[in-house]
Amino acid sequence: MQSVFADGRPWRNTRAAAILSALAILLLWASSAAAHNVTEGDAGYIQEIWGVNIIPFMYLGAKHMVTGYDHILFLLGVVFFLYKMKDVGIYVSLFAIGHSTTMLLGVWFGWGVNAYIVDAIIGLSVVYKALDNLGAYQRWFGVQPNTKAATLIFGFFHGTGLATKILDYDIAAEGLLTNLLAFNVGVELGQIMALAVILIVMGYWRKSPNFFRQAYTVNVIMMSMGFILMGYQITGYFVAA
């Protein structure tokens, strides 16, 4: 369920071309964007309001998730070879628990973590999962890492990455906990929406007889995108230093 190997034959399929074209567009976008970025308009809104604002913060949380390419890539990698909804539910729940925990605690306690380092680790999470899907760890080390533990741990880092961005803006202390909880609910709703789209596309794609050959190529591209995200953040760290 977690591994796939290429058979060496070239692939030529319009479905694969469409998928890879979409990934190429995402790659160009990711190379020019910052992980967990908060738009200027949203930042201004966050800074101007005070008190309890449940619906606005739910909207901001959902918007963050559905536009967060790093989350989407990691989720794609996690569910890539999960065929049972029970398994999907377990893994996505572990990611949600990790993500929610560190996002809430990070903002509430004001963790001063360097955003570039955290986001580089988030890029690493995409690389890790793509290599896992490619069966690299069994071939290189003869072992299979605990995929559930890895999903939870990287979920912690994804949440920390978001917390570091939220802390850049002075959210009013009044109603802070309620607003953070509303934001987190929005994030989970956005995750459900993104996951629904991923599962629909994957369900259609898996019906193709060429799925496993194409899956190898897609995971290699996903791994490359993770390396680019890492490189972007590491470069930003040294430039900003």
Report yes or no on 10 lying in a domain. no
Q: How far apart are CA 180 and CA 34, in angstroms?
A: 22
Residue bearing the bigger pLDDT, 2 or 63: 63
**Does any domain span residue 27?**
no
Please state, in angstroms and rounded to a whole number, the distance separating the CA atoms of residues 58 and 36: 16
What's the pLDDT at 177? 87
- 38 in a domain, yes or no? no
Q: What's the pLDDT at 54?
A: 85
Is residue 158 one of the residues assigned to a domain? yes
User: Tokens representing 28?
Assistant: 């160009």
**C-alpha–C-alpha distance, residues 214 and 225, integer Å:** 17
pLDDT for 32: 45
Quick one: pLDDT at residue 21?
55
Residue ranges making up the domain that contains 98:
50-240
Q: Per the structure, how many domains does the chain have?
A: 1
**31 pLDDT more than 70:** no
| Inter-CA distances, 84 with 29, 109, 134, 212, Å | 31, 38, 20, 17
Range of lowest pLDDT (2-6, 66-70, 130-134, 232-236): 2-6
Q: What is the pLDDT of residue 167?
A: 79
